[in-house]
Structure 1
């Protein structure tokens, strides 16, 4: 009887497969030509799985005041402070991390499922239907593991650097591998400098990580496994030279990178354009002084021309990145503009990274006011679309808005930059949460200082608090703007915002708010005056509550009392 059940299941699956095949054949459309009855159907258009969703979303539009999709769509659960947003998102990701830890530490629990059909083969890691490689437990390698070249190839393809080194050692080193596998391992080691890469799976952790400036220092691991593999390779192929040179140049081991490049040229080995791009990015480590560095930069470009290599947009960005890191001055600015003009003659337009380096070069904090951003925005506005090609492209909009706010102090240009960011899918170029916060800090600051009051309040209503939570310094600027505009009702609401944003304990900020209450209280309507009085009384109650908490706790340095501020401001 049990065999009859299994046989019926097999026949049912066979019938289902036949129906599926017939359906697919019926849906197939001819790519071109005419049918026998004279009807010519249009050519088939390939669609992605999300095209229908994108079309539906385009009919609705976006709501700028709505919370991010990763938060619950409930007004009582939506976080409204930077701390709560960060804690909310990271706590949700911590749950996924815990699940991944259980999967990796207890992989034996996921090798089979008891509820699979009896006819299904229970092989380790391949019992799910369909199989999702990312969710499967990762293999564990130790000194007792029996590995093959397929295991090494698997670890390299999945960027498991530590596992790759372990499997490489278990296989006996360089002498027991074929040349292609050696090259793949060398590429992995050079790209990550023999350090385990940060997992790309944890989106929120990378999103909320505080961005730090890149270290322009030699961090290449001298005498490491990458150099040993390269030395043991015989003969050394052009791919191996390109790999080791790019790795050294990426981690600013500039002298040795140029030595290997010279060695390759002497042997008649052709280097690629990407190798010269990496050498151009670290050419400043070879020479001292602006003149010598510019000559070295031009020398590398002449070598590319002699070898018949065509430059690309990354070549321009590498040149401008080096020039912008050498300081400032007329000579560097003139050289940078010459490079942009030469590349435009070749049909290569500047990318966002190239424009970012130009802004860093021309718009110094303590330097003269130079308006190069207007021409850059005009050029970007003419383009049909802006695509990200390099990781540094996300630095453009935050730098451009900072130039509008601090360097040029031009609110009209800031509005053009913001309109460009909100066009099509350009908002993906805003960067992580740290860059996004700084971008809106500059936008709100320049709007409060130089925009009309109505535009400023409209902008605040759109951004705060779901998109942007103002920092204390920005909140001071907002209070000052509301005070000058005589918006007593908004000033009264500002106190509740300070509580929600977590700024109520900042004494100087509360003092600014109370001072604004006093300055605009006299010419407000009675209803607004009542709101201001209630807000001031609430501030006093909050201060008394904080004082009681401090008395009950063992704090060595109690904070300033709210009553002192209240009396001082209203006296």
Structure 2
């Protein structure tokens, strides 16, 4: 009976902390004069909130010595400063792994070079991890999330003879992971021609590319071919290679195809609908809502034409939008229902989010 009373009391305590469904969103202060109502106020509030979070992260992570006291029971790691200092001293493969884990780009390259100069071979797995780090961050130190980001293009430029290419050429043994990492890194940082040369080397070595590598190459096609026909032929060749190697395409594969077709003029308009129908044919169409949640979906939808126009407004240019003629009303309403679930409203632009609050 005593244990039953404890359980009842615990349930009563829990009800005290449940969210009131009639209350204002927890992100706002419970003050009618402070609740943002217009799009400009919502945007200002969101920026102010993130600015405060970044300022707090900066203070905690840049001056961790002032936050060493831990009074939380049990220990809450996310409330403590990040441990970004390497614990392993000296030059060894274990130290290299730790620096890679901590995303220390320049220090990792220095340790790798020192190991080679001392005649100590580095394992293929560790070298591939270093390539992953270099190709992802473009041979530069990563910017912490609490520091202001510099204005830059979506794809940073790739330097000639960078550390990733140098280390790749020094590797005594390379596997498919090594080639795929280099290809994805080259596409990410704008070296499109080099990416296709590396892909040719991969095939000559009788390795197989993974689906992420094919996705990157498909996205790069629009940047290396001039005529519409040449672009589409290269895309078809890549898709045929995927079929021969039994590589299952993903939603991102077709998404990148459609992005490349935006630069193919009339040919792209005639092929886009076939690509979308092919997605449904291989059972990827059921996952289209996950791809299209980034679209500017509004709350007022009436006809099939309006639904499709709204869904594809954020993903395609107006010429490509005219070629989409699926008229799939059920799919459109499924996407809209997903938008109304949980926190999916966050995918909407700031000026439309207040409709769902």
> TM-score range, shorter-chain basis?
0.7 to 0.9
CA distance in 2, matches of 1:257, 1:232: 18
Contact 2:273 2:325 in 1 (8 A): no
Q: 1:153 maps to what in 2?
A: 97
Does structure 1 residue 351 correspond to structure 2 residue 265?
Answer: no
Contact 2:131 2:164 in 1 (8 A): yes
- Cα 1:375–1:241 change in 2 (3 A) is same
How far did 1:283 drift?
0.9
Contact 1:421 1:427 in 2 (8 A): yes
Contact 2:313 2:321 in 1 (8 A): no
Corresponding pairs, count = 319
CA distance in 2, matches of 1:369, 1:183: 41
- Cα 1:359–1:302 change in 2 (3 A) is farther
How far did 1:338 drift?
1.7
Structure 2 unmatched ranges of 5 or more? 4-13, 296-310
Does structure 1 residue 71 correspond to structure 2 residue 28?
Answer: yes
How far did 1:343 drift?
3.1
CA distance in 2, matches of 1:214, 1:239: 27
Q: 1:261 maps to what in 2?
A: 199
Q: 2:307 maps to what in 1?
A: none
Q: 2:265 maps to what in 1?
A: 328
Superposed, which structure 2 residues align to 1:484-563 within 5 Å? none
Contact 1:359 1:372 in 2 (8 A): no
Superposed, which structure 2 residues align to 1:30-429 within 5 Å? 67-80=24-37, 85-111=42-68, 130=75, 132=77, 135-140=80-85, 146=90, 149-158=93-102, 160=103, 163-170=104-111, 172-173=113-114, 175=116, 176=120, 177-200=122-145, 215=154, 219-324=157-262, 326=263, 328-329=265-266, 331-349=267-285, 351-352=288-289, 353=291, 359=313, 364=318, 370=322, 372=324, 375-381=327-333, 383=334, 421-429=339-347
CA RMSD in angstroms comes to 4.0
CA distance in 2, matches of 1:105, 1:213: 25
Larger radius of gyration: 1
CA distance in 2, matches of 1:354, 1:76: 36
Contact 1:320 1:354 in 2 (8 A): no
Q: 2:299 maps to what in 1?
A: none
| CA-to-aligned-CA distance 1:11-53 (integer Å, 9 cap, x gap) | xxxxxxxxxxxx9xxxxxxxxxxxxxxxxxxxxxxxxxxxx99
Contact 1:333 1:361 in 2 (8 A): no
How far did 1:180 drift?
1.8
How far did 1:165 drift?
2.0
Q: Which of the pair has the greater relative contact order for Cα pairs under 8 Å at 6+ separation?
A: 2
How far did 1:301 drift?
0.9
CA distance in 2, matches of 1:276, 1:67: 46
- Cα 1:361–1:169 change in 2 (3 A) is closer
- Cα 1:269–1:187 change in 2 (3 A) is same
